[in-house]
């Protein structure tokens, strides 16, 4: 039964997601053009450029949006200039995503009681939502939780934390904002395979999701309910994914054995979570999965024994916009709702993975 596990009785009190909105920069480029930019930025000799071209061609990405025009990246000198570009671009995209979500739900900024904001591609203090508060019309007493360090998992984890809050404040409204400008983290003069793979996969974008508690009145009764969540850390995997910080900013840590870890250890976590709610993988009508990359997506499919088309919208998002880090899973949730809404009352599972190494699971009911 969706919504009840061992010893639990479903009482009908669930968080409901009432709007999901994505935002992308206007600068879109085909993968081949980005490949040439990365090769030039990383100062690769001819032999290494052939490796780069193979990596980019096998990424599953056909094009991406960049926060800056592509010819401006060569002029970014040092972490300070990169971070200034992050703050400027993040505020524009974040504003668009939040306002779009509010309009979609028929709500105003003053209706929001809590904002969780997340990014792992830049630093802002005051945080992004604080800088946006006045122009958007957020109340002075809005509660704010800026999050850094969760990486790609933060879209799913952010929804889970909204659910935690709204379970205790069922009359309220909560907002999640994700802004990731991954292109600004590309390291020049770095020919490491990790940097080349990151340059092949990651794009720029933002997303916002609005959720309401079970006793929040005045919102149309549309959107999936969050039934339950689960977080899981895999011990001894801290070096597999994340950043090291240097004078030029964020340097990617990306372990080559990450797909093997996912293939070997993700399945029991997912199946155990579903089983606690008396659900089998075959009962799930929509899999909303973060697009970690082709090898990771193949590993997810193998680990959970998914049908071939279960991750089709995830593959589509990867192809069209690349991996948007924490914003990607929210874009895919939006696409699921818009393009392939599952049958009402059926279960869905939203999942993402990130530094730690960790996975976050969000059980939905459509």
Known catalytic residues?
A: 152
CA–CA gap between residue 343 and residue 236 (Å, rounded): 40
Q: Residue 254: phi, psi to the nearest 5?
A: -145, 95
Tell me the sheet residues that pair with 174. 114, 211
The DSSP-derived string for 190-238 is ---HHHHHHHHHB-EEEEEEEEE-TT--SS-S-SPEEEEEEEEE-TT-T
The structure tokens 């081949």 sit at: 32
**Alpha carbons within 13 A on the beta-carbon side of 53:** 9
Give the sign of the dihedral formed by CA 276, CA 278, CA 281, CA 287.
negative
CA distances (Å), origin 83, targets 32, 112, 168, 185: 26, 28, 36, 9
CA–CA gap between residue 328 and residue 163 (Å, rounded): 19
167-199 core/surface letters (b: 16 or more CB in 10 A; e: else): eebeebbbbbbbbbbbbbbbbeebbeebbbbbb
The structure tokens 């999640």 sit at: 176
SS3 310: coil
For helices 46-57 and 31-41, the axis angle rounded to 10 degrees is: 150
Helix count and strand count (H, E) for the chain? 10, 13
**Alpha carbons within 13 A on the beta-carbon side of 98:** 29
Question: Could you tell me which of 315, 362, 363 has the C-alpha nearest to residue 156?
Answer: 362
């Amino acid at each position: 039964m969706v919504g009840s596990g061992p010893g639990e009785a479903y009482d009908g009190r669930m968080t409901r997601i009432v709007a999901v909105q994505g935002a992308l920069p206007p600068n879109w480029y085909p993968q081949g053009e980005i490949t040439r930019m990365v090769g030039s930025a990383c100062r690769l000799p001819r032999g290494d450029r052939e490796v780069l071209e193979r990596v980019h061609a096998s990424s599953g990405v056909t094009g991406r949006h960049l926060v800056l025009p592509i010819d401006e990246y060569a002029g970014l000198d040092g972490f300070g200039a990169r971070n200034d570009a992050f703050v400027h671009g993040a505020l524009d995209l974040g504003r668009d995503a939040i306002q779009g979500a509010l309009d979609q739900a028929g709500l105003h900024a003053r209706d929001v009681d809590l904002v969780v904001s997340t990014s792992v591609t830049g630093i802002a203090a005051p945080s992004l939502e604080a800088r946006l508060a006045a122009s958007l019309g957020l109340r002075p007493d809005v509660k704010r939780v800026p999050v850094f360090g969760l990486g790609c998992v933060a879209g799913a984890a952010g929804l889970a934390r909204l659910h935690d809050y709204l379970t205790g404040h069922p009359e309220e409204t909560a907002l999640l904002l994700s802004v990731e400008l991954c292109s600004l983290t590309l390291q020049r003069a770095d020919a490491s395979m990790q940097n080349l793979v990151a340059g092949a996969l990651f794009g720029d974008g933002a997303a916002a999701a609005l959720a309401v508690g079970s006793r929040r009145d005045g919102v149309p009764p549309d959107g999936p309910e969050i039934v339950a969540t689960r977080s899981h850390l895999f011990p001894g995997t801290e070096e597999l994914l994340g950043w090291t910080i240097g004078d030029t900013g964020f340097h990617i840590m990306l372990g080559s054995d990450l797909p093997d870890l996912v293939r070997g250890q993700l399945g029991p976590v997912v199946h155990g979570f579903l089983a606690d709610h008396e659900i089998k993988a075959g009962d799930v009508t929509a899999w909303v999965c973060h697009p970690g990359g082709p090898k990771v997506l193949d590993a997810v499919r193998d680990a959970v024994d998914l049908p071939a088309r279960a991750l089709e919208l995830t593959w589509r998002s990867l192809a069209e916009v690349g991996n948007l880090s924490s914003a990607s899973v929210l874009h895919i949730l939006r696409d699921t709702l818009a393009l392939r809404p599952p049958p009402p009352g059926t279960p869905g599972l939203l999942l993402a993975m990130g530094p730690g190494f960790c996975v976050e699971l969000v059980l939905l009911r459509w």
